[in-house]
Amino acid sequence: MSRAVEPSPVVANLLRSDARVCVPAGGYNGRGSEPRCPYGRSVGKESPDTECRSPAADRSFMPDIGLYVHVPFCPRKCGYCDFYSTVPAGDECERLTVALLVELERAFTARSDLRVETIFVGGGTPTFLPISALDRLLARLGQIAVEHRATEFTVEANPGSLGRDRASVLRANGVNRVSMGAQSFNEAELAVLDRVHSPADIAAGAEVVHGAGFEHFNLDLIFGIPGQTPATWRESLQRAIGLGPDHLACYGLTFEPGTPLHDRLMQGRLLRVAEETEAELYTAGVAELGAAGFEHYEISNFAWPGCRCRHNLRYWHNLPVLGVGPAAASYLDGRRWRNLPDTAEYLRRVTAAEPVAVDEERLSPAERAGETAMLMLRLVEGIGCEEFRALTGFDAEQLFAEAVARHAGSGRLIVERGRIRLTDEGRLMADSVVLDFLSPVPRSRDDGRP
């Protein structure tokens, strides 16, 4: 790269999996070409108001904002995780629930013009909340979903934290998508990650999800775990397929500084999976999944036709999202910020009616265009030049002419039919490509803008 570029803290968080390659899996029912979930749900048959479309094709697809609510509590901190999460003490669960509801009401009182298109409750482990607190939080979010006619309402869960009682609370309050962190079906690999669940817990959680009748079910998997082999990775993929998700998010393991896993790596207590092995996992998985009927639509995400995660599509199109809760990130009206990542201080400030936002920044048009391009390149379809102009006012091929020429010449990018996208080789090295789009410098006022 010709320049040193650092994304903002908020965008850096979105891009943490740039170098990750994702390998989910799925299968046909063996009765023709129509993809079908192994649990009998037809896919790719959604009505027009729920089918995923590009914002350029239909601006009503993502009319205003996505709403993200962060519940930072977990029963135990996983060794690889650097998302903000803690183990709650005393009455913190109840106090946090009250604070989240207060922040929600203040936000929508201040901006009554906003309309919510998607809701995502993440963490942490939201389903770790006591049932009464979980019901109280989801009841209000369910009201928002109805009032705003939201099309997607997702809650994250971990195996072992979603029994029939909590699943009933989710369904009763309008949740239509569950995202479960399986990570691996191998006991030794789960132990390396410091996960508290077993492979049997994953199967039991999937049974609960299907039994409760949720419309969409995502499983997360991780590859590149120390000690993992192509054989154990394939086993995890195959067992995940058998549990009938319509969406899979699969990430290459990263060793984030400050995490116990990174410390163990630095101490020589474990070894990284070789880069060649990670590439082998990626290549074999993508081929298997393409034959199985899952659409590879983003570097780390695959879905049955019509079952893409609409909330995450907002991030990858750099569209407005409002975050609520400790460490939650927001992007609205050209301004980025995140809430302070400290539960105790967050609770104090909410109670005292003090601001909870930190790391605020307002983007220039060129900065916004750079971030938008960098995020859209994560999508397999890449940057749609007409859509990009509609979102930012810039001509992508002119604004990023230098980066496009360099990476197209190396075989990592392709420009065709009005789109700029990563090649298969480019996805393996996405981090070294997308950062070249972060800080464009137009040569003149009319270079790249209408």
| CATH number (domain holding residue 425) | 1.10.10.920
At which residue do the structure tokens 């006619």 appear? 149
Are residue 307 and residue 175 in the same domain, yes or no?
yes
How would you write 377-428 as a 3-class SS string?
CCECCCEEHHHHHHHHCCCHHHHCHHHHHHHHHCCCEEEECCEEEECHHHHH
* The domain boundary residue, chosen from 300, 316, 332: 316
* The domain boundary residue, chosen from 288, 316, 344: 316
Are residue 310 and residue 377 in the same domain, yes or no?
no
Residue 30 belongs to some domain of the structure: yes
Alpha-carbon radius of gyration of the chain: 21
Predicted TM-score (pTM) of this structure? 0.86
Are residue 298 and residue 382 in the same domain, yes or no?
no
Distances (CA, A) of 12 to 9, 40, 372, 396: 5, 39, 13, 22
- Show the domain range for 403: 365-437
Are residue 292 and residue 375 in the same domain, yes or no?
no
Residue 144 belongs to some domain of the structure: yes
Structure tokens at 365: 């048009």
Give the pLDDT confidence score for residue 29 in this predicted structure: 24
DSSP, collapsed to helix, strand or coil, labels residue 274 as coil
Q: Which residues pair with 65 in a beta bridge?
A: 116
Q: Which residues of the chain have pLDDT under 50?
A: 1-63, 444-447
Give the pLDDT confidence score for residue 449 in this predicted structure: 58
Are residue 234 and residue 376 in the same domain, yes or no?
no
246 in Cβ contact with 217 (< 8 Å): yes
Give the pLDDT confidence score for residue 442 in this predicted structure: 57
Are residue 53 and residue 178 in the same domain, yes or no?
yes
Q: What is the pLDDT of residues 28-63, one digit of tens each?
A: 122 222 333 333 343 333 333 333 344 333 334 444
306: CATH? 3.80.30.20
Residue 408 belongs to some domain of the structure: yes
Residue 274 belongs to some domain of the structure: yes
Structure tokens at 298: 């983003």
Structure tokens at 133: 């607190």
Structure tokens at 350: 């909410």
| 404-411 long-range contacts, CB within 8 A, separation 24+ | 406/436, 407/433, 407/436
Q: Is 382 left (phi over 0), alpha (psi -120 to 50) or beta?
A: left
Q: What is the pLDDT of residues 221-271, one digit of tens each?
A: 999 999 999 999 999 999 998 999 999 998 888 999 999 999 999 999 999
* The domain boundary residue, chosen from 293, 316, 339: 316
Specify the number of domains making up the chain: 2
Residue 148 belongs to some domain of the structure: yes
Are residue 378 and residue 311 in the same domain, yes or no?
no
